[in-house]
Amino acid sequence: MNKNGFVFWEIIISIFLMGLTITFILPLFNNNIMTVKTIESRKEMNYLGEYIFERLKSKDKYSSKLLEQLKDEIEFTDLDPEYIKKYKCKLINLENEEYLWNLKVVIKPIITEGVIENVEIYGTIPK
């Protein structure tokens, strides 16, 4: 008997095997996409914390006024609207020394995609 084409069963089995491999591969792609989003968000939060510290060191009008009002903790709101929608930034005064501000910047995500923790950055600023 001479075979010139595929038998019906061969086609069904190949479709089944392709579906089986796709079912195993799709969750891997979904997990990778969530990991990339988490890493991007974390990187953006670190950048924001460093930006806030540099801004406080520059002693511009907003920063000077904010440091004068700082007792225990205060919210940093002078950011781009893009960041205000995503994150809440707080300044926490750790110790009151004579010549230095010992501060902690805490950045919390408003909308969490997956498990994103707060970012805390510690630093000192001269008074």
- 66-124: pLDDT as tens digits: 888 888 888 988 888 888 888 899 999 888 788 888 999 999 988 766 677 888 999 88
Cα Rg of the chain, angstroms:
26
User: What residue type is assigned to position 52 of the chain?
Assistant: I
By residue range, what is the domain housing residue 71?
A: 8-126
Q: Does the residue 44 lie in any domain?
A: yes
DSSP state of 89: E
| pLDDT value of position 67 | 85
Which pLDDT band, with edges at 50, 70 and 90, does 18 fall under?
A: very high
Q: Does the residue 96 lie in any domain?
A: yes
22 C-beta neighbours (distance < 10 Å), count: 9
Q: How far apart are CA 112 and CA 75, in angstroms?
A: 20
Q: Does the residue 118 lie in any domain?
A: yes
Which pLDDT band, with edges at 50, 70 and 90, does 3 fall under?
A: low
Domains held by the chain: number: 1
| 89 HSE (CA, 13 A, CB side) | 24
Question: Residue 122: in which H helix or E strand, if any?
Answer: strand 119-126
Q: Does the residue 2 lie in any domain?
A: no
pTM comes to 0.72
